[in-house]
Amino acid sequence: MTEAFSLAGRRVWVAGHRGMVGSAVVRRLASEQCEVVTVGRSEVDLRRQDQVERWMDATRPDVVVLAAATVGGIHANMTRPADFIYDNLVIETNIIHAAHKSGVAKLLALGSSCIYPREAPQPMAEDMLLTGPLEPTNEWYAVAKIAAIKLCQAYREQYGSDFISAMPTNLYGPGDNYHPTDSHAVAALIRKTHLAKAASASTVEVWGTGKPVREFLFVDALADALVFLLKTYSGAGHVNVGTGIGHSIRELAEAVVKTIGFAGDFAFDPAKPDGMKVKIMDVSRLNVMGWKATTTLEDGLAKAYAWYLKNAA
């Protein structure tokens, strides 16, 4: 691997270090020769431009990983559209503009596979962006994340800033949010299956039909890919980060049940939304650059469940 950008001796601000992605990035950066800086919510509200700019002026990071975001699963996205569009737009705008003003050498913004059109051909390649209408169950979040890509491109074009963006697929792992309704599918199914087993229930509830197909990436693998991109990639185009492998929600639920050892059946609830029918990324661009996901769903789920048992059960 040729290193175009060295992290050695750099001060790296991980914005969103308490979240699942940010905390994985902090873990991964521990094996780099850099200084990691973070700031808590009580000190800096990232939705406040003055607070973000003051923090940047005082801290002067060389590198920013923009992992701060208001996130959630399909239900959270559908019920809190204003939070999802406002929080994310303003956080990205504040951080990216402050990074430009304080002369940050490299910034990496995080997006999501939901930026792609609802009817995009599968797997979805980077050039499918803005080729059609978005999936309505997450369009507010998607619009904000598309804006992040465009912000990076605009500052690159006008000021030559080395701002890049990466679009991860559906994520899971240590530090995930296990909220009963607002979590993503993996965390929700781990929690519900664990509780069903503990209660000796005969079924575990699965939202929707079980037919939608998703791609699941273990968050520590994502963190490794992000460090790889920071070191090796500079360009206007966003980069997909995933496994390229799709699983139906039924298959996911089966894998979770196997991990936890639950003997009951599934109770599908078709009144709950399925969301996008299929969402799989084309990750050939990242693979050609030299990074490939290696964690299997089985291994990743075992680690996620171990974290849940220790921290959230």
Beta bridge partners of 66: 15, 109
Tell me the number of residues near ligand GFB by CB under 6 A. Answer: 27
77 binds ligand GFB (CB under 6 A): yes
153 binds ligand GFB (CB under 6 A): no
Burial of 278 (0-12, 13-18, 19+ CB in 10 A): middle
242 binds ligand GFB (CB under 6 A): no
188 binds ligand GFB (CB under 6 A): yes
How far is the C-alpha of 108 from the C-alpha of 165, rounded, in Å?
5
Q: 191-210 mask for ligand GFB (x: CB under 6 A)?
A: ---------------xxx--
Name the active-site residue from 141, 155, 233, 305.
Answer: 141
Least distance from ligand GFB to the Cβ atom of residue 261, Å: 19
Detail the DSSP E strand segments found in the chain.
11-15, 35-37, 63-66, 106-110, 163-168, 170-172, 203-207, 213-214, 216-218, 239-241, 247-248, 265-269, 278-279
Q: In what order do the strands lie in the sheet with 278-279?
A: 247-248, 213-214, 278-279
74 binds ligand GFB (CB under 6 A): yes
Selected binder of ligand GFB within 10, 106, 118, 214 (CB under 6 A): 214
Give Cα separations from 92 to 46, 113, 146, 193 (angstroms).
9, 17, 11, 35
CB nearer ligand GFB, residue 150 or residue 231:
150
212 binds ligand GFB (CB under 6 A): yes
272 binds ligand GFB (CB under 6 A): yes
Selected binder of ligand GFB within 122, 138, 153, 165 (CB under 6 A): 138
225 binds ligand GFB (CB under 6 A): no
Is residue 308 part of the annotated active site? The answer reads no
Spatial neighbors of 101 by CB under 8 A, at least 6 apart, are 53, 56
Does residue 300 sit in helix, strand or coil? helix
Q: Which residues of this protein are in contact with ligand GFB, per CB under 6 A?
A: 73-75, 77, 112-114, 138, 141, 170, 183-185, 188-189, 206-208, 212, 214, 249, 272-276, 279
